[in-house]
Amino acid sequence: MTQDIIQVGQSACITRTITEQDIETFAKLSLDRNPIHFDEAFAAGTLFGRRIAHGMLGMALISGALTALMGAGNIWISSSVKFEKPIFIDDTLTCTLTVTEVTRRGMADIKVLIENDRAEIIISGSVKSMRFVARACQ
């Protein structure tokens, strides 16, 4: 990656509705079967009052948005995010990434904002990403 490929101010946006199937699939992958995600009675007694989706489902959208923004071969170097509000089943999330800085070494600092369909901020923060170009075999 060079600065003429990715520039400050560039952005990418992806949208996805979080479904019951997403929660099941994520639980199978992560082994996270916390009852707050699966048990209505349990979740009713929490501060959310109902079941919530795994917060990491929101974070997973960042990965897709990074590929849309940075292109093939990008890697996620680091992140610093805040979970502002819960994700509920059937929420439609929009993940917007905006490049705030690009170093001479091609590392991009990127602002993260994930909002639901009620215009509430769900996740905010930043990530660092870099793109590597595959080399041809000789």
Strand-pairing partners, residue 78, are 128
Beta-carbon count within 10 A of 44 CB: 11
* pTM tops 0.85: yes
CATH number of 11-131: 3.10.129.10
User: Domain residue spans in the chain?
Assistant: 11-131
Cα Rg of the chain, angstroms: 17
pLDDT in tens, 4-24: 478 999 999 999 999 999 999
Environment class of 123 (CB within 10 Å of its CB; exposed 0-12, middle 13-18, buried 19+) = buried
Rounded to whole angstroms, the maximal C-alpha distance in the chain is: 62
pLDDT in tens, 87-137: 999 999 999 999 999 988 889 999 999 999 999 999 999 999 998 765 555
